[in-house]
Structures are given as structure tokens and as C-alpha cells.
């Protein structure tokens, strides 16, 4: 999981499979809890 800034106050969170290095999901915001809830974990 990595968070990044697109602009000054626009953030995103990227969830990546560590084994395959493929993107699993891209979520708006920097909130890890929101990313986990959206995956149903």
C-alpha cells in the first residue's frame, strides 16, 4: 500500500500485490482504513 499526492491537496492510495507487483486497487484519499474497508478485509 502506498499513498501519493497528485496535486497540493489531492491524494490517492495504491494497493499492489507484492508477489506479482500488479495493481489491485486505486482509492481516493490517503486513509488506509478506507482502502481496507473498500476491499472487504
Q: pLDDT tens, 1-41? A: 777 788 888 888 888 888 998 988 888 877 656 655 555 55
Name the nearest CA neighbour of 24 among 4, 9, 38, 11.
38
What 8-state DSSP symbol labels residue 30? S
Residue span of the structural domain in which 21 resides: 2-39
C-alpha cell at 14: 495504491
The count of domains in the chain is 1
Burial of 3 (0-12, 13-18, 19+ CB in 10 A): middle
Name the strand (E) or helix (H) holding 13. Answer: strand 10-16
Which pLDDT does position 41 carry in this prediction?
53
Predicted TM-score (pTM) of this structure: 0.57
Which pLDDT does position 19 carry in this prediction?
93
Amino acid at each position: 500500500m502506498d499513498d501519493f499526492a497528485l496535486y497540493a491537496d489531492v491524494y490517492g492510495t495504491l494497493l499492489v500485490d507484492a508477489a506479482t507487483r500488479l495493481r489491485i486497487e486505486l482509492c481516493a484519499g490517503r486513509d488506509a482504513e478506507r482502502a481496507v474497508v473498500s476491499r472487504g478485509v
